[in-house]
Structure 1
Amino acid sequence: MEVMPLEDSEEEDSSDGTISGDESDEDTFMKFASEDLQQCALLAADSISDSFFPRTTQIILQCQRGKWVPRLREPRDLFGVSSSGPLSPTRWPYHCEVIDEKVHHIDWTPSYSEPVYIPTGLEEEPLYPNSSEDTVVYLAEDAYKEPCFVYSRVGGNRTSLKQPVGDRDNTLMFEARFESGNLQKVVKVADHEYLLTVRPDLFTNKHTQWYYFQVTNTQAGIVYRFTIINFTKPASLYSRGMRPLFYSEKEAKTHNIGWKRIGDQIKYYRNNPGQEGRHYFSLTWTFQFPHSKDTCYFAHCYPYTYTNLQEYLSSIHNDPVRSKFCKIRVLCHTIARNMVYVLTITTPSKDGDSRKRKAVILTARVHPGETNSSWIMKGFLDYILGGSRDAQLLRDTFVFKVVPMLNPDGVIVGNYRCSLAGQDLNRNYTSLLKKLFPSVWSTRNMIRR
């Protein structure tokens, strides 16, 4: 049961708006709360099982003639997504520049396994000395405006965005100021060669591994070389045949082809020491775009954004079948006030025996750059919410508590490992700092209950 003051009554209010006596609004409210609300049961989002998935009855407090008068309002769902309203808007650190354009990719499952790159032994290790003739064609400076998280706002920085630099002839145009995007700087070092730097996790100076950016003004038939120069991991799957991911909007529109692994002359190697003698590693590859004047994307792994999750949860909530045994609630809010969702999946109990069922806890995406965990979680949810006999048996036997994205803030801003606290959530499950690590704290509390 929820208690909430009602400033604007849904019914006609005969109150004169004054407070009689020496009691203030706050004193009257606190007196009422302490004396009478002890009998109200709070339906928590982390309860292990709720018989029939009940809704909350809310007590509305109306100020009438200077007194707080309680009344009951019809039960309301506590779900974080609703068919009657929009999805929760994505909140960013206030200083982050965000473009208005919404990035969308089609879902596509190729009929073949990912192609592995087989080294020829002739791959180059480009080392580019600094030159005054080099042209900076993209620079994102907003990430370093604050040393730590201050506050968030919907849509991030609302000031006029600085447009990427370029001569618009044969120069590629780059962009990464969108959800989960990551690209710090691009330097054009030759006609068709580009030196790229990825951004560290916000409010840290490390964890440079995740990249996801847009490329436009492409020309077909030309061999381009891209080199990312500030990776920090000595070992990489790129040394074992993994290729960068590529997406073409024209390929998606004309041939229904989505993300795929591409590239030639791929090599992962140690480059010159960086600041303070720290070693960095480079990833270089060559590629020919399939179309001219195309909008394309490169990524480290298959992107799965916070918006993708919200749209998926909304489809579950609006499904008359799946929503009967999958209820979606808000476990907590992140530092940036984005919602962390928790799903309760089980067959509704008719005789009150749901609490006798054992609970199974599943979580994903504690590290933002590990997007494969979100795709695995989606596959699990598709299965457990499906119509197979095994899925039905599992729902009849267990209560599944699922937190599909533990680190929405990190996912939104394009971090690789950390939250906006600048810390790895996977190393803070034992922390008592609820405000600093709300998602892992709430998950741990849910398990204990």
Structure 2
Amino acid sequence: SHPTQCHWSLREPLALFSPPSAQGHVPAPRWPVECEVIKERIEHIEWVPPEPEPFCPTTALEQALGTLSEEQGTVVYHSSPVPQGSCFTRARVGGAPGPLSSPATPLEGPQDTTLLFESRFESGNLQKAVKVGPYEYVLTLRPDLYTAKHTQWFYFRIQNTRKDPLYRFTIANMAKPKSLYGQGLQPLLYSQRDAQSRGVGWRRVGSDVHYYRGGVEEPLAFRLSWTVRFPHDSDTCFFAPCYPYTYSDLQRYLRALAADPARSQFCAVQPLCHSLAGNTVYLLTITGPSGTAGKRAVVVSARAHPGETGGSWAMRGFLDFLLSPHADAQLLRRLFVFKVVPMLNPDGVVVGNSRCSLAGRDPNRAYGMAHPGSFPGVRHLQAMVQR
């Protein structure tokens, strides 16, 4: 799918354009054809803990696990990796055509306590899970598509839980040499049963959290290990390093914005361009009723790096404030015109990358490139600023 050319200027009239319309369905994301995608719609409730969550006490690493091979355990989940050396060619809604494979090992009966893993959903990232003990698993993340590196973001589902055992999870191929997991940070857990019965969403969990260098055979890889007890039997749970914010989450937010008569009068939503996969890169123009003439422009963007989901939550807070009736927000709208790109790299967000777009490179390194055609969002953002 080729990027769409968009022609406009800072002084164009504010005609509201809302691809995720106030009444219609949110457009389904487009995936590379190599990606299998489950049909289930993954959504989470929003919940804020009643008080700040404490840091996890740091403890000495008693036993750094060596490199655990498949021979030392049982592979219970293995999603087909994209072939090395391949590059993006085309995309479609729903990803790979045809029936889905079955990457998870089927349970042998109701007494089988093996966890069921899944990550073939929007922003999901898990390539393999190996069971190395009754309640212990070693996990491998999928590198950013069309690369062999950038493994830091993770987001996967677990089913068939038991509430009494102490589980240990170890992600064996983290990329960064330093991490806040060594300073008290914990992974996030989402329990579907807690969300439905108690209204509790994502929360920090885990003890004995360690981040350390891998074994002799993998000196460049780092490991994240933690223990946890699940809150319920037979629950559906998710793990992530930071609160997920998907491309569909953004589209639902923009649909709600378009349906709000108070906020939509200050905000026009347009396509800045389309990504390599054909997903819309949205542009929001925000200003007061006096229009844009004579006003200075402020350009704001987020999510060049897909794994930095906190950028989307900060962006949402920024937009909520800027479109509010607060006196300072009214003053800002009166003085400036804001050009906002809330998700510069939607393809990377959709497929669960940590850093790259489908070009297999970091979009933040594309500014000033002689041939930025592989980065439509960056190219159109640069063109807008230069105008």
- Counterpart check, 1:393 vs 2:328: no
- Counterpart check, 1:92 vs 2:31: yes
Residue of structure 2 equivalent to 1:341:
282
Cα 1:374–1:405, aligned 2, differ >3 Å: closer, same or farther? same
> How big is the shift at 1:121?
2.3
CA distance in 2, matches of 1:431, 1:129: 42
Q: Deviations over 1:175-201 (max 9, x none)?
A: 000000000100001111001000100
> How big is the shift at 1:120?
2.9
- Give, as a single letter, the amino acid of the residue that structure 1 aligns with 2:253: Y
User: Please, which runs of 5 or more residues in structure 1 have no aligned partner?
Assistant: 1-42, 55-76
Residue of structure 1 equivalent to 2:349:
411
Question: Bigger radius of gyration, 1 or 2?
Answer: 1
Deviating more after overlay: 266-275 vs 234-243? 266-275
Deviating more after overlay: 143-152 vs 334-343? 143-152
Q: Deviations over 1:196-236 (max 9, x none)?
A: 00010000000011100000000011100000111121111
**How is 1:117-136 mapped onto 2 (pairs within 5 angstroms)?**
117-121=56-60, 123-130=62-69, 132=71, 134-136=73-75
> How big is the shift at 1:49?
3.0
CA distance in 2, matches of 1:378, 1:123: 41
- Give, as a single letter, the amino acid of the residue that structure 1 aligns with 2:221: Y
- Give, as a single letter, the amino acid of the residue that structure 1 aligns with 2:87: C
**How is 1:89-168 mapped onto 2 (pairs within 5 angstroms)?**
89-121=28-60, 123-130=62-69, 132=71, 134-144=73-83, 147-163=86-102, 164-168=104-108
CA distance in 1, matches of 2:348, 2:216: 28
CA distance in 2, matches of 1:259, 1:83: 27
CA distance in 2, matches of 1:92, 1:261: 30
Among candidates 198, 203, 206, match of residue 260 of structure 1: 203
CA distance in 2, matches of 1:123, 1:374: 37
Aligned partner of residue 209 in structure 2, secondary structure: strand
CA distance in 2, matches of 1:119, 1:82: 48
Equivalent residues of 1:385, 1:391 under 8 A apart: yes
CA distance in 2, matches of 1:49, 1:346: 11
CA distance in 2, matches of 1:45, 1:138: 47
Deviating more after overlay: 227-236 vs 83-92? 83-92
Aligned partner of residue 77 in structure 2, secondary structure: strand
Residue of structure 1 equivalent to 2:193:
250
Equivalent residues of 1:46, 1:331 under 8 A apart: no
- Give, as a single letter, the amino acid of the residue that structure 1 aligns with 2:264: S
CA distance in 2, matches of 1:300, 1:247: 11
Aligned partner of residue 444 in structure 1, secondary structure: helix
CA distance in 2, matches of 1:421, 1:114: 38
CA distance in 2, matches of 1:273, 1:433: 40
Equivalent residues of 1:249, 1:295 under 8 A apart: yes
CA distance in 2, matches of 1:129, 1:79: 50
What is the percent sequence identity of the aligned residues? 49
Residue of structure 1 equivalent to 2:264:
323
Aligned partner of residue 25 in structure 2, secondary structure: coil
Q: Deviations over 1:27-73 (max 9, x none)?
A: xxxxxxxxxxxxxxxx956421334x24xxxxxxxxxxxxxxxxxxx
User: Please, which runs of 5 or more residues in structure 2 have no aligned partner?
Assistant: none
Q: Deviations over 1:374-422 (max 9, x none)?
A: 0000000000011111111111111000000000000000000000000
TM-score by length of 1: 0.81
Deviating runs (4+, > 4 A) in structure 1? 43-46
- Counterpart check, 1:304 vs 2:245: yes
CA distance in 1, matches of 2:332, 2:17: 25
Equivalent residues of 2:31, 2:93 under 8 A apart: yes
Among candidates 131, 137, 153, match of residue 188 of structure 1: 131
Among candidates 146, 158, 167, match of residue 224 of structure 1: 167
Among candidates 438, 444, 449, match of residue 376 of structure 2: 438
CA distance in 2, matches of 1:448, 1:89: 32
Residue of structure 1 equivalent to 2:20:
81
> How big is the shift at 1:124?
3.3
Equivalent residues of 1:45, 1:330 under 8 A apart: no
Q: Deviations over 1:243-299 (max 9, x none)?
A: 011100011111111101110111111121446xx5211111110001000000000
> How big is the shift at 1:118?
1.3
TM-score by length of 2: 0.94
- Give, as a single letter, the amino acid of the residue that structure 2 aligns with 1:427: R
Residue of structure 2 equivalent to 1:365:
303
Equivalent residues of 1:94, 1:152 under 8 A apart: yes
- Counterpart check, 1:174 vs 2:117: yes
Aligned partner of residue 360 in structure 2, secondary structure: coil
- Give, as a single letter, the amino acid of the residue that structure 1 aligns with 2:149: K
> How big is the shift at 1:88?
2.2
Aligned partner of residue 183 in structure 1, secondary structure: coil
- Give, as a single letter, the amino acid of the residue that structure 1 aligns with 2:159: T
- Give, as a single letter, the amino acid of the residue that structure 1 aligns with 2:227: T
Q: Deviations over 1:130-165 (max 9, x none)?
A: 363521000011433771001000010122112211
- Give, as a single letter, the amino acid of the residue that structure 2 aligns with 1:144: P
Aligned partner of residue 117 in structure 2, secondary structure: strand
CA distance in 2, matches of 1:322, 1:389: 14
CA distance in 2, matches of 1:267, 1:116: 13
Deviating more after overlay: 140-149 vs 398-407? 140-149
